[in-house]
A and B are shown apart, each in its own frame.
Chain A
Amino acid sequence: MSPPLEVRGLTKRYGDTTAVEDLTFAIAPGRITGFLGPNGAGKTTTLRILLGLVHASSGEALVAGSPYRKLQDPVRSVGAVLEASNYHPTRSGRNHLRVLAAAAGIPEARIDEVLEEVELTGAARRKVEAYSLGMRQRLSVAAALLGTPTLLVLDEPANGLDPEGIRWLRNFLRGFASRGGTVFISSHVLAEVAQLADEVVIIHRAKLVAHEPLEKLTARATGGALARSPQADRLRDELARQGIDATRAGLDGLRAQAPAARIGEIAAESEVVLHELRDEGASLEEVFLELTGGER
Chain B
Amino acid sequence: MTRLVRAELLKATTTRLLLWLVLLILALVTLIVSLDAGQNAASDLASPGHQRDLVSSAAVSAVVALIFGIVASAGEYAHGTISHTFLVAPVRPRVIAAKVFAGMLAGLALALVAEIGAWVLAALWLSGKSVPSHLVSHDLLQLFLGTLLAAAIAAGIGVGLGALLRRQTGAIVIALIWLLVGEPLLAIGGVQPYAPGHAIAAVAVGAGHSSGELLGFGPATLLALGYAAVLALLGAWVVNRSDVT
Which residues of A pack against B, CB within 8 Å? Answer: 48, 51-55, 68-69, 71, 74-75, 80, 82-83, 85-92, 95-96, 98-100, 102-105, 143
Contacts and interface: CB of A to CB of B under 8 A. Distances in A.
Interface residues of B, number: 25
A52 B80 contact: no
Nearest to B241: A55
Given A53-B244, A82-B83, A86-B79, 16 more contacts: A52-B90, A54-B244, A74-B90, A75-B88, A88-B11, A88-B81, A91-B11, A95-B10, A96-B84, A99-B7, A99-B84, A102-B10, A103-B3, A103-B6, A103-B85, A104-B88
A107 to B, nearest CB: 12
B7 to A, nearest CB: 4
A69 B240 CA distance: 11
Interface of B: 3-4, 6-7, 10-11, 14-16, 79-81, 83-91, 241, 243-245
A53 B86 contact: yes
Contact of A100 (B16, B88, B91): B88
Given A52-B90, A53-B244, A88-B79, A143 B84 contact: yes
Name which of B4, B89, B241 has the most chain A CB atoms within 10 A of its CB. B89
A37 B243 CA distance: 22
B85 A91 contact: no
Contact of A99 (B14, B86, B243): B14
Contacts of A143: 84
Nearest to A14: B243
Nearest to B17: A90
B84 A83 contact: no
A35 B81 CA distance: 24
A265 to B, nearest CB: 56
B243 A100 contact: no
B15 A102 contact: no
18 contacts: A51-B87, A52-B87, A53-B83, A53-B87, A53-B243, A54-B244, A55-B241, A69-B90, A74-B87, A74-B90, A75-B87, A86-B80, A88-B15, A91-B11, A91-B15, A96-B14, A98-B14, A103-B7
Given A53-B83, A104-B88, A99 B16 contact: no
By DSSP majority rule, is chain B's interface helix, strand, loop, or mixed? helix
Given A54-B245, A75-B88, A100 B80 contact: no
Nearest to B75: A88
A102 B14 contact: no
Given A53-B83, A89-B79, A95 B243 contact: no
Nearest to B86: A53
Nearest to B11: A99
A51 B89 CA distance: 11
The 3 closest A-B CB pairs, nearest first, are: A103-B7, A86-B80, A95-B14
B96 to A, nearest CB: 14
A146 to B, nearest CB: 9
B81 A52 contact: no
B182 to A, nearest CB: 31
B10 A83 contact: no
A97 B80 CA distance: 15
B3 A102 contact: yes
B14 A55 contact: no
Nearest to A146: B88
B88 A87 contact: no
B244 A86 contact: no
Contacts of A102: 3, 6-7, 10
B85 A92 contact: no
A150 to B, nearest CB: 16
Nearest to B244: A53
Contacts of A54: 243-245
Contacts of A105: 3
A100 B82 CA distance: 11
B7 A100 contact: yes
Nearest to B85: A103
B88 to A, nearest CB: 4
Contact of B88 (A55, A69, A74, A95): A74
Contacts of A98: 10, 14
Nearest to A52: B90
A48 B3 CA distance: 24
Contacts of A103: 3-4, 6-7, 85, 88-89
A99 B10 contact: yes
